Structure 1
Amino acid sequence: FRHIMPDFDAMGTQMGLYTWIKDNFPNKEVRFLGDNHVTFTPRLFPETERLNDEWFKEPFLAIIIDTANTSRIADPRWKKAKYKIKIDHHPDVEEFGKISIVNTTMAAASEVVVNMILTVKGDYHLSKEAAQYFYIALAGDSGRFQYNSTTPHTFAVAKELVKTGFVLSDVYRKMYFKKIEDLRVTAYVLNNFNVSEHGVAYYVLSADIQKELNITSERGKENVNIFSNIDGINVWCSITEDSKDNCYRVSIRSKEKAINQVAAKYEGGGHAQASGAKLKSLDVLPNFIQDLDTLFVE
């Protein structure tokens, strides 16, 4: 199991652990559940398995990956598990599971899991396929090793994954693959972003604009990092209307200052330099930007 609206880390860690367990315990029945991703599936990850409710009537173990709180677990049938294990790297805002393995010093859930795999006693094999999934997760959640969450340990884990022999250039090509029509979205963002007085850059993608650009709400944050490493921009955000949930989903990134406390104020949370939030309407957008702006008032 992993969180809804999955990212590189959620899907990569899930599939990496699934593959590792299948490789080392071939007699075990292992399943992976959750919603598919609009672009990652099937380019990077296989279609999620579909299980009927009958399967969950037998005792099973649920391993929940990269998910800080139970409301964000993608399939509610995790609750039927006889035994539950939580493995995460986000702030531990909600304790759940018989075993909870949370390490907030690590850049990705992938790093937590691979660290366990590399240190566990026994003759276990880390295959090229499993390592590639874990690497996708690690590179994705560390911003290709550029975020402050990246440590020497992160690079040490990456080294062990790369040693299995997968081709790095193939991985990055698949991760950041774009189509020509995607440039229209980028062009819209570059022509319609705003920057506040203290360097908070943001763009808004309404439902009408998404329809015009032929994208779904899940893809709204794809261009958020265009604004990283720009002089005068301290925080950058994508603000995307989600018509299904009647809200605006916000992805927030920061150069240095911690922004997760502001995110928590707006029904979100996450890491110090990478968080998510939710706005009930654009009426609260000025307050949200002001709260981020305040972080940079001397």
Structure 2
Amino acid sequence: MNRFKQIEAEILAASNILITAHKSADGDSVGSSLGLLHFIEKLGKKATICHPDKAPDFLDFLELSSIIVMDQEPEKVTAAFQNADLIFSLDYNATDRVGKGMQPLLESATCTKIMIDHHLDPQNFASITVSDTSASSTAELIVELIEQSGNVALLDEKIGNPLYLGILTDTGSFRFNSVKPRTHEVLAKLLATGVKHHLIHELLNDTNTASRLRLQGFAMSQKMEIMEQNAVAIISLTKEELEKYQYKKGDTDSLANLALSIKGIKAAMVFSERDGIIKISFRSKGKDNPVNGLAANHFDGGGHANASGGMSALSMPETLDKIKGLVPEYFPVV
């Protein structure tokens, strides 16, 4: 029995299925969660989604009411973990990725756990692990689960919409080198179900607020530094600056890619002071300029070779001094 048929068997045998994803919700974690939920429902079973925190506002067009958030309803999340006889861990490879509130609930659960993920170096905590770093996204792996378990006939627009969104966002609108021929084959199958890709692009991208655009303009014009010799762009935003522009979750998500679009830039980094720490987004171009090692080795983070995240407990000036000292090591002058 292949792993996907085994997963189908676990779904059919379970009574209380729980779907979890990582903290700092994004398009792939939300999209893969909702896509899996609708697939499970098509199999005639019920499931609950519990996430550590709320999805950013730009994903409001999805069925976010289906997601119970730990930050908002900890009692309901705790009860869901205690009642679960099958837990899915989507889009994360280590238990600490679900945050301090959910981590002990996940680790203490004794039921079957299934990890479906595409990040490097998976932790050995799941009963069944599907870890494929060559996949563009976890949403792509959910499509493979549906196909390889023999349920491709169940694919429909309701399942396909969030999965298309997950692939779209985790590939940078299909620009990252994680996109392979099979990614486009998966997308074709989703479009064949009736997914209206143009509407998803519009709903995802045409949602700017005036304050978000002003924040992005301020960041690019006033807060971006370029280390010319190393071809690295650095943007930093303090708590006070974010508050000045009425920051909402997701408002800075595009800044790293925007800076990376500058001609000649190999890597871009955004440092934003939120929730008492400095949160960091790393982006880069090409196989010769990975950022996941920098994130993992120095900023308690990790991720993909060209798209990673991290954090710093230092002050903003101290954090910027640290990164500027590390840049020549990771992006030497050619």
When normalised by structure 2's length, the TM-score is 0.83
Give yes or no for contact 2:27–2:59 (8 Å, CA) kept in 1.
no
Identity of aligned residues (%): 24
Answer yes or no: is 1:140 the counterpart of 2:158: no
What is the 5 A alignment of 1:135-214?
Answer: 135-176=164-205, 177-192=207-222, 193-197=224-228, 198-214=230-246
Q: Deviations over 1:261-295 (max 9, x none)?
A: 11111211111110111122221322323323432
Please, which runs of 5 or more residues in structure 2 have no aligned partner?
A: 1-19
4+ residue segments displaced more than 4 Å: none
More helix by share: 2
How far did residue 54 of structure 1 move?
A: 4.1
How far did residue 218 of structure 1 move?
A: 5.0
Answer yes or no: is 1:78 the counterpart of 2:95: no
Q: Deviations over 1:116-141 (max 9, x none)?
A: 21122257401101101000000100
State the distance in 2 between where 1:18 and 1:131 align: 11
Give yes or no for contact 1:259–1:292 (8 Å, CA) kept in 2.
no
- Measured at CA, do residues 128 and 70 of structure 1 come closer, stay the same or move farther in structure 2, by a change above 3 Å? same
How far did residue 205 of structure 1 move?
A: 1.2
Q: Deviations over 1:192-211 (max 9, x none)?
A: 21101311112111110111
Answer yes or no: is 1:36 the counterpart of 2:54: yes
Give yes or no for contact 2:136–2:178 (8 Å, CA) kept in 1.
yes
RMSD: 1.9
State the distance in 2 between where 1:273 and 1:54 align: 38
How far did residue 55 of structure 1 move?
A: 4.5
- Measured at CA, do residues 179 and 54 of structure 1 come closer, stay the same or move farther in structure 2, by a change above 3 Å? closer
Of the candidates 6, 12, 18, which is equivalent to residue 31 of structure 2?
12
Give yes or no for contact 1:10–1:109 (8 Å, CA) kept in 2.
yes
State the distance in 1 between where 2:293 and 2:176 align: 18
State the distance in 1 between where 2:164 and 2:22 align: 19
- Measured at CA, do residues 57 and 274 of structure 1 come closer, stay the same or move farther in structure 2, by a change above 3 Å? closer
How far did residue 17 of structure 1 move?
A: 0.5
Please, which runs of 5 or more residues in structure 1 have no aligned partner?
A: none
- Measured at CA, do residues 180 and 123 of structure 1 come closer, stay the same or move farther in structure 2, by a change above 3 Å? closer
What is the 5 A alignment of 1:276-287?
Answer: 276-281=309-314, 282=316, 283-287=318-322
State the distance in 1 between where 2:248 and 2:209 align: 15
Q: Which amino acid aligns with 1:232?
A: G
Q: Which residue of 1 aligns with 2:15?
A: none
Answer yes or no: is 1:227 the counterpart of 2:244: no
Q: Which residue of 2 aligns with 1:292?
A: 327
Aligned length: 294
Answer yes or no: is 1:46 the counterpart of 2:64: yes
Q: Which amino acid aligns with 1:261?
A: G
Q: Deviations over 1:147-189 (max 9, x none)?
A: 0111111111111111111211110111122123321112111
Q: Which amino acid aligns with 1:194?
A: E
State the distance in 2 between where 1:179 and 1:143 align: 21
How far did residue 20 of structure 1 move?
A: 1.1
State the distance in 1 between where 2:212 and 2:283 align: 21
